[in-house]
Structure 1
Amino acid sequence: MCIRDSDWGAPVAWNTALLYYERVTAVVGMSVPYFRYPIGVLTKQENFGDNFWYMVYFQKPGIAEAEFEKDIRRSLRMI
């Protein structure tokens, strides 16, 4: 079986391949690099300082929602 996923699904694809290595013959993760450490490490602001990292941005309840709700049509176009 070959698994291909991108963005937030890429870590799921890699971990599926690790857990079921006897079934998975290939794995492709797109848009997000492979990390050997848990994804929780990637969502801590202190790891990035002032650099913008969207995974951190979406961890704080209400902030992204407030920005998107200012102009919903524009927000959807940007996605």
Structure 2
Amino acid sequence: GLIAGGVTSIGFLPQIIKGYKTKKLDDVSIYMPVVLAIGMALWFLYGFLIEAIAVMIANAFGILCCLILIIMKKIY
């Protein structure tokens, strides 16, 4: 579970890196990271309720990546 969640969350890194290098995120919709962050927050809550640390860790990292994208979108 932790590996699957980690690999899924790593999928955000290329967009974060590209945005940081180019300082341009015009082609990235703000809604995508917002909706995904909400979904991951719900998964995190579910993981907390069933005490599944792997679910919590993977989704916490995904939420962090989404928040970084949202902040970068607002800055750039």
Q: Identify which of structures 1 and 2 has the higher relative contact order when contacts are C-alpha pairs closer than 8 Å and 6+ apart.
A: 2
| Structure ID, larger Rg | 1
Structure with the larger strand share: 1
TM-score, normalisation: structure 1: 0.30
Structure with the larger helix share: 2
